Amino acid sequence: MNRKSLMVFHALMKKGWIDRQADHEVWDYSMDPDIIDELVIFQEELGFELQRIRDRLYMIPTQDNDLFLKNNEDFRKDVGGNEVRNRDIYLMNFMAVYLLYLFFNSEVSGNQIRTLISIEDYISELNSYFSRYEKSDDSIEDMRDYSESFKLLCNDWLTKIEGDLENRKITTKYGIVNKLMVKLKADDIFSIDDNGIIKPTQKCKDLMPYFLKKNRIIKINNILKEEEIRATDK
């Protein structure tokens, strides 16, 4: 095996991407057709995809990957709380998807529609969204498409007390958002400053068009359905 191929793979393993400006030598190696052929073998064996987006080469785990993907216990460790229930994790997963929606809800798949949001406005958006289903009635046609599991998540959010910007308790709205941001910062998806301003990272902006391709939306919907089934777990 080409030693340079291992250098490229090692660089990808360290951060999940190679930056053309910061790692120009390794970037040049990654452009070599022979090295690309060897990386394709790695892809098939280890379960990941490579995407070159502008000045970065990203390593993206697939659902078949058993090395990089995380389970609920990993998530619990990332947010730093043994008190975090499975239901809290499913709620945070939904909140993360909704945060992405607020930034990338464009008619053109993956296009960014805002540059930042304050934590206060994010909580306000979640309040507005979940409040639509607060007084749901199964006889209402709009609610027939929503499962009991989803309604439980809505209720879980709406029954939390507000808290404040410094709060870290999972039982408060600010607290669960702050815990989620620990996870999203660690995964380099969003950043949040001392004033509570949330912004997507370069990685997030690069990869959203990839994740929102039509053929991937079907996969994402299937995954969300599986998570919904498990959302009733305490």
CA gap 192, 182 in Å, rounded: 9
Angle, vertex CA 48, rays to CA 47 and CA 50, nearest 5: 155
- How far does CA 97 lie from the centroid of its chain? 7
Mention every residue, 6+ apart, whose C-beta is less than 8 A from residue 92.
Answer: 75, 79, 176, 179, 180, 183
The pLDDT tens digits along the chain (234 residues) read: 789 999 999 999 999 999 999 999 999 999 999 999 999 998 888 889 999 999 999 999 887 776 676 777 778 888 876 778 888 898 999 999 899 989 988 766 667 899 999 999 999 999 998 888 765 555 444 545 556 777 888 889 999 999 999 998 999 999 999 999 999 998 999 999 999 999 999 999 999 888 877 555 555 555 555 545 555 454
What's the pTM? 0.80
Amino acid letter, residue 55: D
CA gap 124, 147 in Å, rounded: 24
- In 33-187 the beta strands, taken as DSSP E runs, fall at 48-53, 56-61, 117-118
Domains of the chain: 3-61 (1.10.10), 72-230 (no CATH)
